Amino acid sequence: MSDGSFMQQRLPGIIAATKQAGVRRLILVSVFGAGAPPAKPPDSLA
């Protein structure tokens, strides 16, 4: 799912399951949108 649709497809089910289980708070940590890695590492890391 390299098109970024993973969260759109999975979050509704996760939210429904947490509600059904009586979970009051869901904490989601994501780096979605943080950007693509550089094509090659900087020379200082090579």
**1-46 per-position pLDDT tens digit:** 566 688 889 999 999 999 999 999 999 888 776 777 767 776 766 5
pLDDT of residue 3: 65
Whole-model pTM: value is 0.57
Give the closest residue to 28 by CA, choosing from 18, 36, 39: 18
DSSP letter at 33? T
